[in-house]
Amino acid sequence: MNSSTSRFLSRSLAAWALMLSAPSLAASPAKAYRQEEVVAGSPFQGVHGLALDGKGHLLAGNLMGQTVHSVDLSSGKVSTLVGPPLGGADDVAVGPDGSIYWTGYFTGQLMRRTPDGKTRVIAKDLPGLNSLAFRRDGRFYVTQLGRGDALWEVDPNGRTPPRKVLSQHGFLNGFQFGPDDRLYGPLLLKQQIARIDVDTGTIEVVAEGFGIPTAVNFDSSRENLYVVDAARGELVRVRVATGAKEVVAKLASGLDNLEVGPDDQVYVSNMVDNDIRVFNPADGSVRTLVEGRLSVPAGLAVAPDDPDERLYVADVHALRQVGGRDGMMTQTTRVLSTRMTFPMNVSLGTKHVVLSSGYLGNIQVLDKATGEVLRTIPNTNGIQGALELPDGTLLVAEASTGRLVRVDTAEPAGTTVLTEGLEGPVGLVADTEATEPGVYVTEVRSGRVTRVRLADGARRTVAKGLKAPEGIARHPDGGLIVAEVGRKRLVRIDPATGRLTVIASGLRIGLPESAGMPPGHIPTGVAVGNSGTIYLSSDVESALYRFVPAQGDARP
């Protein structure tokens, strides 16, 4: 045997050994699928804080997408000013020197971008950092909300530590300084608009009786405040001197922020509808500047017996039902105006819809027929996938702890650890009809798909060598369909052999993970209809796609 033949055999044996030890890397030829758009995308993943830059553009914060955008006021064209991961903006403001400031709700960081394009952190360790505003004398204030409850004065240059002004004030949100140098803003927990003296800490009520007021802004007269009410979907004008209120526009629930231009045009953001609308006080008209259909599409589910393949979409700011065949939205349950809380994963039982949210840290069980929230179960362990088992108990993936836990049907809910030691469990799909019932789970950190036996928590590796697998679903033929986010592709895995087939690659999926969020962050959802059509959510594009098997080749 010559040396070249020896080297060839050596390489061949090494390749076979690799394939046997990591079967998920042995990709078989892909079957033919046709990629189609179900719901068109949007430039935002839920639009939040707004600020005019004085140059014909509206700056817009995109918290989930981790970006700060610039919107051309004449054309509505959206461009990215600061991309992920630095741009996770809940609110945005323009300083006296033209610097742009924004708040990182999850990161707890206050960011500054100078006019020459340099970006840096000027304050940190403030979880829940939310709204911000400058006073006329250049003093700068920010607030914590949800993950904190405090008002801080901050050095705009970041040279001195922040100074706490108030704490436990009732969740002060989008605020602005008035002509009297008092700070005006909503207190969410009290349904009030308040006036605050930042030097003395004195708080006075200006107006009350709102649903969930989220932001205020003065008009050009400085005598009236515009208020957005997220729960009622109203734009309200408040006479500051008397507190008298007038609803000037009925919009939709989910309103987040607003900005009033020098011409008194009112720009309003809606995080549920992922759009920006403009109210003209001269004639009461409302026009759309930027529109979207989905907000932050994440987890997906479809009932296996539904011939129309209606999709349940955990859209973070809403739970939507979308026709898999026609893309029509037939129902939307919105956050803030209902008891539902920011769904990131969704699964279907016989009678229930199960939602989970790493954003607010809970699981919710909804009546499938009515949409009523039946149970809300707190869990702050970075929850991702959640399933209802045949006996009514829930199985929950805790991505931060690496555990699968059972949640019983009692109130208050008790939990039992089924297994632990998983590395970032994200997606769950049941295999309860097998001789030994189990569940398949994707591990975003280890790159494995693992089967866990429900009887005793025993684990078996189905596939390894994947890169950041997230969403998972069962194909009608028993195969596992997985969103391999790290390689931007959709794959099929044979659960018996681990053999991998690439269905589609080069996909626009996988926003960067954000500090303060669990592994998997916004999960990429996968669902499969009985026809063999595969559905996939795109967090990067805020879109929904389907992969239709070629004629005569309905199953991979």
Listed by start position, the domains of the chain span 50-290, 294-549
* CA–CA separation, 66 and 510 (whole Å): 12
The helix (run of H) or strand (run of E) holding residue 123 is strand 119-123
* CA–CA separation, 415 and 296 (whole Å): 30
3-state secondary structure of 183: strand
When pLDDT is cut at 50, 70 and 90, the band that residue 515 belongs to is confident
Q: Is the pLDDT of residue 511 over 70?
A: yes
Q: What is the pLDDT of residue 211?
A: 96
Q: Is the pLDDT of residue 18 over 80?
A: no
Average pLDDT over residues 425-454: 96
Residues 203-234: tens digit of each pLDDT:
999 999 999 999 999 999 999 999 999 999 99
* CA–CA separation, 527 and 533 (whole Å): 9
* CA–CA separation, 194 and 178 (whole Å): 12
Residue predicted with more confidence, 404 or 20: 404
Record: fold of 50-290: Neuraminidase (2.120.10)
Q: What is the pLDDT of residue 4?
A: 40
Q: What value does the mean pLDDT of the chain take?
A: 91
Q: What is the pLDDT of residue 23?
A: 42
Residues 44-62: tens digit of each pLDDT:
999 999 999 999 999 999 9
Q: Is the pLDDT of residue 399 over 90?
A: yes
Domains 50-290 and 294-549 in one fold: yes
* CA–CA separation, 483 and 463 (whole Å): 13
Q: What is the pLDDT of residue 84?
A: 86
Which long-range CB contacts under 8 A does 439-442 form with residues at least 24 apart? 439/387, 439/395, 439/404, 440/472, 440/480, 440/495, 441/385, 441/397, 441/404, 441/472, 442/466, 442/469, 442/470, 442/471, 442/472, 442/482
Q: What is the pLDDT of residue 554?
A: 43
397 forms beta bridges with 404
When pLDDT is cut at 50, 70 and 90, the band that residue 401 belongs to is very high
Residues 342-394: tens digit of each pLDDT:
999 999 998 999 999 988 899 999 999 999 999 999 999 999 999 999 999 99
Q: pTM (2 decimals)?
A: 0.90
Query: Which range (141-145, 312-316, 329-333) has the least confidence?
Result: 329-333
CATH 2.120.10.30 fits 294-549, yes or no: yes
CB 390 within 8 A of CB 402: no
The residue type found at 222 is R
Q: Is the pLDDT of residue 9 over 90?
A: no
Average pLDDT over residues 481-492: 98
Coarse DSSP helix, strand, coil percentages of the chain, rounded to the nearest 5 percent = 5, 45, 50
Q: What is the pLDDT of residue 20?
A: 31
CB 547 within 8 A of CB 32: no
